[in-house]
C-alpha cells in the first residue's frame, strides 16, 4: 500500500464532500453515486499530477457541482463525465491564467460561457472561450476582478454573434411579404 493515512483520509473527506452535493443537486434531477464520487476524486488526482499542481483541502469538484448543477446542458446521463471534464479544464486554465484569477471568478466565467456561448460544448469552452480569456489575462487584463468573472467574454470574443432582435425583425419581414 503506497498511500499514507493522511492521503487516505483526505480522499475519504473529498468523497464525502462530493456526496453531500446530492442534497442540492437532487432538485435538478441529478445525483452522484459513491462510485462516481470516487472516480471524480481519482481523476482530480490524475489531473493535478498532469498539471503539476498541488492542492490542499477538498478540491474544486464540489464548487463545480454547485456552480453547474442547474445547467440546461447537464443531465444524469452526462453528469459525472461533465464534472470530470470541467475539473480538468479548470485546473488547466488555472495554470494557463498563471493563477491570476480566483477559483470563483474562473468558475463564474466558465459557467456563463458554457450556458450562453458554448451551449454545453466543453471543447468550445476550453479551446476557444477559455483560451481567449487566458491570453487576455496573460497579457495583463484584470477587468474580471470588478465583475467576479461575469460578462467578460464579449470583450474577447472573435466571433460575430447574430443579434436575436435583428433575426426576429428579418423573420417578420420575410413572413409578411
Q: What is the mean pLDDT of residues 102-113?
A: 96
Nearest to 88 by CA among 49, 120, 119: 49
| Candidate ranges 48-52, 87-91, 147-151, 168-172; pick with highest mean pLDDT | 87-91
pLDDT reported for residue 167 = 66
168 versus 109: the higher-pLDDT residue is 109
Contact 2, 49 (CB under 8 A): no
The pTM (predicted TM-score) of the whole model is 0.84
Which residue shows C-alpha cell 493522511?
A: 6
pLDDT reported for residue 2 = 55
Amino acid at each position: 500500500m503506497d498511500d499514507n493515512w493522511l492521503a487516505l483520509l483526505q480522499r475519504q473527506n473529498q468523497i464525502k464532500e462530493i456526496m453531500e452535493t446530492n442534497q442540492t443537486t437532487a432538485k435538478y434531477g441529478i445525483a452522484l453515486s459513491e462510485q462516481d464520487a470516487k472516480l471524480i476524486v481519482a481523476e482530480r488526482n490524475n489531473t493535478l499530477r498532469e498539471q503539476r499542481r498541488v492542492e490542499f483541502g477538498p478540491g474544486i469538484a464540489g464548487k463545480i457541482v454547485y456552480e453547474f448543477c442547474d445547467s440546461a446542458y447537464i443531465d444524469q446521463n452526462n453528469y459525472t463525465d461533465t464534472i470530470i471534464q470541467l475539473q480538468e479544464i479548470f485546473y488547466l486554465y488555472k495554470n494557463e491564467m498563471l493563477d491570476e484569477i480566483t477559483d470563483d471568478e474562473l468558475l463564474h466565467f466558465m459557467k456563463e460561457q458554457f450556458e450562453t456561448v458554448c451551449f454545453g460544448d466543453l471543447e468550445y469552452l476550453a479551446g476557444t472561450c477559455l483560451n481567449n480569456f487566458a491570453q487576455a489575462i496573460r497579457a495583463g487584463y484584470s477587468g474580471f476582478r470588478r465583475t467576479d468573472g461575469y460578462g467578460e467574454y464579449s470583450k474577447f470574443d472573435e466571433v460575430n454573434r447574430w443579434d436575436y432582435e435583428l433575426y426576429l425583425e428579418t423573420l417578420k419581414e420575410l413572413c409578411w411579404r
